[in-house]
């Protein structure tokens, strides 16, 4: 049960941290206050940094089967981020689903890749 709570909690934070940071780049009327490409770059950096840190913290709780855990965490965090965006971000932005995946959604695949890579490294180091 603790593993499930950690998975969901850290997964939620992997979505919330970049979402929270992004708020500071928009005006009260919803307009972006900086260059679009700079904003997207900042969000990729913030998402990658926070995702890697959260994966590091999560893997401190894992004792074995690191590669398997990397797949499980990667898939669950990817799914959770997509779900939260569908529930929160897409209605706020009124972005069509196909545009969302092209501009934002597919970028969450990096979480999956980071998780698998960390799991693979730990698996190899433990042997």
CB 58 within 8 A of CB 6: yes
Nearest 5 degrees, angle CA 73-CA 53-CA 8? 35
What's the whole-model pTM score? 0.91
Q: Which band of pLDDT confidence, cut at 50, 70 and 90, is reported for residue 1? A: low
CB 77 within 8 A of CB 107: no
Condensed to tens digits (0 to 9), the pLDDT of residues 51-80 reads 999 999 999 999 999 999 999 999 999 999
For helices 36-59 and 66-84, the axis angle rounded to 10 degrees is 140
Condensed to tens digits (0 to 9), the pLDDT of residues 14-49 reads 999 999 999 999 999 889 999 999 999 999 999 999
Condensed to tens digits (0 to 9), the pLDDT of residues 104-122 reads 999 999 999 999 999 999 9
CB 19 within 8 A of CB 51: no
pLDDT value at position 2? 74
């Amino acid at each position: 049960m603790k593993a499930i709570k950690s998975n969901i909690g850290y997964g939620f934070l992997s979505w919330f941290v970049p979402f929270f940071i992004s708020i500071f780049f928009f005006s009260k009327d919803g307009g972006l206050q900086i260059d679009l490409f700079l904003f997207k770059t900042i969000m990729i950096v913030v998402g990658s940094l926070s995702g890697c840190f959260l994966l590091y913290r999560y893997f401190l709780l894992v004792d074995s089967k690191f590669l398997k855990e990397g797949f499980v965490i990667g898939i669950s965090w990817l799914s959770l981020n997509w779900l939260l965006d569908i529930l929160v971000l897409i209605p706020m932005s009124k972005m069509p689903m196909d545009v969302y995946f092209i501009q934002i959604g597919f970028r969450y695949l990096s979480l999956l890749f980071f998780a698998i890579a960390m799991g693979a490294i730990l698996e190899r180091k433990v042997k």
